[in-house]
């Protein structure tokens, strides 16, 4: 059986979905190219990353330092008094920082770390809620040549310990409320020389703990930044780990070239934008597009240090007049669950451009957002390992809801037959190595990184198909694809069909062992408020999706659950559900939400 036959059920089904939702048509007026915006095709012609190097004022061989590029450079360009950060926490406390504040406070932090004896190249972990010290500390660490290692402050002590041990981290910056976790694991971490606490006086601290109040110590006007070069290590990001052990992805300072340009073009930045990225910098989205991308572009960004709450989120957009919003499917599904009524209570007319990342964006979400916000969410695909958006619905490009769009200019992407590793119509998403923000390796794990390459391609570990117009359609993580009687079914098509049912809030389709077909599809489903799980509801859902899915992709069973297992970045971890079905051990769970 050739590959095309193998993926036929998916293609057929995706087409069915397109018809039933009237999608794949030209996007309506609001998504037409703005007159001053070059088209995707124009930008793709003769593309060269040198465009970004020039705009950043970088020439090969120069010193390049992300911390400096995101603060001092903007001040030199006359933006010293422009607001860089509008910050608010869950209690309503607010702070504002200009680009000059970023420059001076990041100097102050860099100076403090250098005085403490932290050396260039050493790893400094940021273990903080989304407080200003996290964002500005990130720049400060990079300015003095150390490597920033951001971790979710919600991690428990074990998750923290594994990552600090692996990275041989020298210092950790944290808050009073998370200090007990550091103290608990301290003895297991001989490399950890310093624990820096940003919100307590020195008197309350123990040995090897140092108080540092960013806004109270004498500000450092001038700091000689460490002369990092293109290949100097910058950020160590532990991947979200939907599969296997978390790996430390090693980024370099040159990554800013890609993060700057992808942010500018894909997030459609304009000088007066107020940009909001929902992601925590513990996830790569929160650093590439929650720190580096916007600040390299001199954009004002708003940060809300608070968990999900639809009302609060809409208030935040309204209050700060957010224009560009970068979110994730999990959050969008939660907003959909809350309904449109609450949206009508807010003036969200400032929103101009919406984008999403992290998981496949279901067509329903795109259509819903057009209805309620008057703007579609633009799906963007990328990974910790790619460092920047690689496949995307470009602003102004026709959106086909459910599709990830096309490769960013300068990115050569295809899909490969998993047996021959030759380009095919559907298969493994593969990228030609060599874009600026590609990671340079996994920390302590060169073999793991080498295993990601075949025939001169970098393999993302995901499957997709490419349509006649060159649009990519996501199928699933390579390990999540369900093999039923030799036919491959991507969880995404099943889940998208399920999300079309009014009762379904979230879903996960996984393989279940089957004596005849080897595997069949099983769906886990959470229901929206006002619906009760029952046999009747199961039947209703089955009837609804029968029209949209090929018989092979039809779930044999639906199990109603309270919630689905997710990573801290909001990705559904199908592996856990699959292991349950196969009675297998689930392996590493350190990034799962409720650890």
Stretch that binds ligand 6R9, among 76-84, 92-100, 151-159, 378-386 (CB under 6 A): 378-386
Residue 326 as a binder of ligand 6R9 (CB under 6 A): the answer is no
CA distances from residue 595 to 89, 113, 155 in whole angstroms, order as listed: 24, 31, 7
**Structural contact between residues 508 and 482, judged by C-beta atoms closer than 8 angstroms:** no
- Closer by beta carbon to ligand 6R9, 189 or else 573: 573
- Closer by beta carbon to ligand 6R9, 278 or else 384: 384
- Closer by beta carbon to ligand 6R9, 153 or else 240: 240
- Closer by beta carbon to ligand 6R9, 120 or else 461: 461
CB of 576 to ligand 6R9, least distance (A): 15
Residue 285 as a binder of ligand 6R9 (CB under 6 A): the answer is yes
Stretch that binds ligand 6R9, among 83-91, 100-108, 338-346, 455-463 (CB under 6 A): 455-463
Among residues 389, 381, 472, the alpha carbon closest in space to that of 423 is found at 472
Residue 383 as a binder of ligand 6R9 (CB under 6 A): the answer is yes
- Closer by beta carbon to ligand 6R9, 317 or else 365: 365
**Structural contact between residues 108 and 133, judged by C-beta atoms closer than 8 angstroms:** no
User: Cα(363)–Cα(496) distance, rounded to whole angstroms?
Assistant: 7
Residue 289 as a binder of ligand 6R9 (CB under 6 A): the answer is no
- 419 CB-contact burial (10 Å; exposed 0-12 / middle 13-18 / buried 19+): exposed
- Closer by beta carbon to ligand 6R9, 212 or else 474: 474
CB of 244 to ligand 6R9, least distance (A): 13
- Closer by beta carbon to ligand 6R9, 195 or else 256: 256
Stretch that binds ligand 6R9, among 22-30, 193-201, 352-360, 531-539 (CB under 6 A): 352-360
Among residues 96, 74, 73, the alpha carbon closest in space to that of 85 is found at 96
Residue 381 as a binder of ligand 6R9 (CB under 6 A): the answer is yes
CB of 221 to ligand 6R9, least distance (A): 36
User: Cα(367)–Cα(363) distance, rounded to whole angstroms?
Assistant: 6
- Closer by beta carbon to ligand 6R9, 145 or else 401: 401
| Contact string 536-575 vs ligand 6R9 (x = CB under 6 A) | ---------------------------------x------
**Structural contact between residues 97 and 87, judged by C-beta atoms closer than 8 angstroms:** yes
Q: What are phi and psi of 79, to 5 degrees?
A: -100, 15
Q: Considering only residues 223 through 262, tell me which ones interact with ligand 6R9, judged by CB under 6 A.
A: 239-240
CB of 480 to ligand 6R9, least distance (A): 8
Residue 358 as a binder of ligand 6R9 (CB under 6 A): the answer is yes
Cβ neighbours of residue 589 under 8 Å, at least 6 residues apart?
A: 576, 595
Between the two ends of the chain, the Cα-to-Cα distance in Å is 43
Cβ neighbours of residue 187 under 8 Å, at least 6 residues apart?
A: none
Pick one of 14, 198, 284, 466: the residue that binds ligand 6R9 (CB under 6 A): 284
CB of 438 to ligand 6R9, least distance (A): 13
User: Beta partners for 32?
Assistant: none
Pick one of 142, 460, 573, 577: the residue that binds ligand 6R9 (CB under 6 A): 460
| Contact string 462-491 vs ligand 6R9 (x = CB under 6 A) | x-----------x--x--------------
Pairing of strands 406-407, 391-392: antiparallel
**Structural contact between residues 123 and 51, judged by C-beta atoms closer than 8 angstroms:** no
CA dihedral for 106, 110, 113, 118, sign (positive or negative)? positive
Query: Considering CB under 6 A, how many residues would be counted as binding ligand 6R9?
Result: 23
For 113-263, where are the E strands, in sequence order?
Answer: 123-127, 147-150, 171-174, 194-197, 209-211, 233-238, 248-252
Distance from chain centroid for Cα 78? 31
- Closer by beta carbon to ligand 6R9, 65 or else 239: 239
Name the DSSP letter for residue 221: S
Pick one of 219, 339, 423, 461: the residue that binds ligand 6R9 (CB under 6 A): 461
CB of 462 to ligand 6R9, least distance (A): 5
CB of 478 to ligand 6R9, least distance (A): 9
Q: Tell me the DSSP string of 345-391.
A: TS--TT--EEEE-SS---HHHHHHHHHHHSSPEEEEE--TTT-S--E
Binding residues vs ligand 6R9 (CB under 6 A): 239-240, 283-285, 357-361, 379-384, 404, 460-462, 474, 477, 569
């Amino acid at each position: 059986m050739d590959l095309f036959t193998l993926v036929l059920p998916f293609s057929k089904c995706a087409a069915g979905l397109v018809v039933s939702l009237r999608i794949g048509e030209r996007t309506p007026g609001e998504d037409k190219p703005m007159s001053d915006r070059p088209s995707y095709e124009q930008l793709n012609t003769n593309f060269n990353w040198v465009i970004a190097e020039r705009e950043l004022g970088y020439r090969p061989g120069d010193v390049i330092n992300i911390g400096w590029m995101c603060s001092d450079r903007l001040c030199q360009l006359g933006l010293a008094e422009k607001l860089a950060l509008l910050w608010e926490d869950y209690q309503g406390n607010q702070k504002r920082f200009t680009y000059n504040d970023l420059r001076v406070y990041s100097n102050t932090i860099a100076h403090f770390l250098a005085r403490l004896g932290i050396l260039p190249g050493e790893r400094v972990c940021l273990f903080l809620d989304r407080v200003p010290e996290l964002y500005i500390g990130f720049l400060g660490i990079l300015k003095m040549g150390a490597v920033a290692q951001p971790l979710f402050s919600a991690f428990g002590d074990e998750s923290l310990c594994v990552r600090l041990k692996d990275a041989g981290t020298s210092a950790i910056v944290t808050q009073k409320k998370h200090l007990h976790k550091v103290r608990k694991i301290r003895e297991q971490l001989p490399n950890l020389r310093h624990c820096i606490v940003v919100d307590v006086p020195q008197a309350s601290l123990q040995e090897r703990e140092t108080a540092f109040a960013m806004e109270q110590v004498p500000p450092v006007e001038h700091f000689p930044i460490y002369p990092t070069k293109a290949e100097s290590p910058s950020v160590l990001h532990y991947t979200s780990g939907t599969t296997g052990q978390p790996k430390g992805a090693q980024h370099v300072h040159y990554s800013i070239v890609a993060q700057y340009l992808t942010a500018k073009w894909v997030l459609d930045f304009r000088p007066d934008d107020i940009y909001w990225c929902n992601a925590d910098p513990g996830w790569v989205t929160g650093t590439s597009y929650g720190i580096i991308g916007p600040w390299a572009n001199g954009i004002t960004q708003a940060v809300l240090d608070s968990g999900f709450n639809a009302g609060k989120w809409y208030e935040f957009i309204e209050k700060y007049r957010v224009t560009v919003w970068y979110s994730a499917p999990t959050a969008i599904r939660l907003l959909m669950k809350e309904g449109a009524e609450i949206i009508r209570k807010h003036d969200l007319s400032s929103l101009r451009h919406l984008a999403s990342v992290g998981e496949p964006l279901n067509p329903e979400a795109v259509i819903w957002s057009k209805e309620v916000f008057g703007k579609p969410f633009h799906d963007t695909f990328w990974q910790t390992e790619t460092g920047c958006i690689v496949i995307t619905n470009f602003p102004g490009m026709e959106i086909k809801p459910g599709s990830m769009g096309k490769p960013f200019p300068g990115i050569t992407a295809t899909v490969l037959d998993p047996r021959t590793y030759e380009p095919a119509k559907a298969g493994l998403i593969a990228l030609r190595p060599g874009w600026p923000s590609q990671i340079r390796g996994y920390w302590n794990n060169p073999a793991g990184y080498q295993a990601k390459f075949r025939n001169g391609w970098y393999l993302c570990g995901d499957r997709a198909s490419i349509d006649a117009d060159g649009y990519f359609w996501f199928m699933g993580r390579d390990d999540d694809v369900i093999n039923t009687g030799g036919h491959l079914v991507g969880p995404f098509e099943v889940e998208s069909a399920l999300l079309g049912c009014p009762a379904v809030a979230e879903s996960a389709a996984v393989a279940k062992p089957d004596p005849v077909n080897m595997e069949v599809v099983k769906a886990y489903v959470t229901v929206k408020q006002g619906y009760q799980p029952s046999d009747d509801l199961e039947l209703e859902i089955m009837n609804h999706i029968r029209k949209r899915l090929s018989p092979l992709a039809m779930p044999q069973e639906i199990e109603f659950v309270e919630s689905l297992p997710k990573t801290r970045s909001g990705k559904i971890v199908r592996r856990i559900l699959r292991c349950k079905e196969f009675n297998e051990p689930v392996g590493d769970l350190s990034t799962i939400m409720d650890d």
